[in-house]
Amino acid sequence: MSEKHFLIVDDDLVFTRVLARSLTRRGYQVTVKNSAEDVRNLPEHQAFDYATLDLKMEGASGLTLVPWLRERFPDIRILMLTGYASIATAVDAIKLGANQYLPKPADTDQILAALAIEEPDIDQPVEAEPMSVNRLEWEHIQQVLNQHEGNISATARALNMHRRTLQRKLAKYPVKR
């Protein structure tokens, strides 16, 4: 069996170092890039079987890489990873061509398991407990922010919220379900 090539795109240096080491021990050839711009400068001959992309990085979002990678490597398995998980960004990632989406923190086993899934699990149990009010607010803010293409001022106006209040809410990590 030939060696599988794995691309990690994330600006968290500690996370990339740990994940790369773990994947290398499992037999993958790993390339680490810390920005979307660095990925676009890869040599033409370099090919990948798997990729994990961080959603929120310095510069362009990992979402911008999904169509680019999909066009360049049609069979690549793409996993979107983010510490800022929301339904809106998950839907966008899948629509753009990502195979799966995982919130951080995720370990190597979870990442490989998500990349191995070929079809959605229709028997997966639905959460019995509804989201908290705080989580619903977070999801709604993310959806409206997405509708306004990341424009904080336009999002604040649409939510009838002061811009600084919205910025404080966005600076926090997502609320637990």
Blockwise average pLDDT, block size 10, the chain, 177 residues: 85 90 94 91 87 86 90 91 74 85 85 82 53 72 80 90 87 64
Count of C-beta atoms within a 10 Å radius of residue 24: 12
- Strand, helix or coil for residue 100: strand
Neighbours of 168 (CB within 10 A): 10
Residues 10 and 65 in one domain: yes
Which residues are CB-neighbours of 166 under 8 A, at least 6 positions away? 141, 152, 155, 156, 159
How many CB atoms lie under 10 A from the CB of residue 53?
Answer: 27
Rounded Cα gap, residues 136 and 142, in angstroms:
10
Here the CATH number for the domain that contains residue 39 is 3.40.50.2300
Rounded CA gap, 76 and 51, in Å? 7
Q: Say how far apart CA 138 and CA 146 lie, in whole Å.
A: 12
Instruction: Report the pLDDT value the prediction gives residue 96, as an integer from 0 to 100.
Output: 87
Write down the pLDDT at residue 55: 83
pTM listed for this prediction: 0.68
Let me know whether 85 and 156 are in one domain.
no
Amino acid 8: pLDDT: 95
**64 and 145, same domain (yes or no):** no
151 and 112 within one domain: no
CATH number for position 148: 1.10.10.60
Query: Does residue 60 share a domain with residue 137?
Result: no
Is 71 a member of any domain? yes
- What is the pLDDT, as a whole number, of residue 145? 82
State which residues form the domain around 141.
133-171
pLDDT of residue 142: 79
My answer on whether 104 and 49 are in the same domain is yes
Examine residue 121 and state whether it is found in any structural domain, yes or no: no
Predicted local confidence at residue 1, as pLDDT: 47
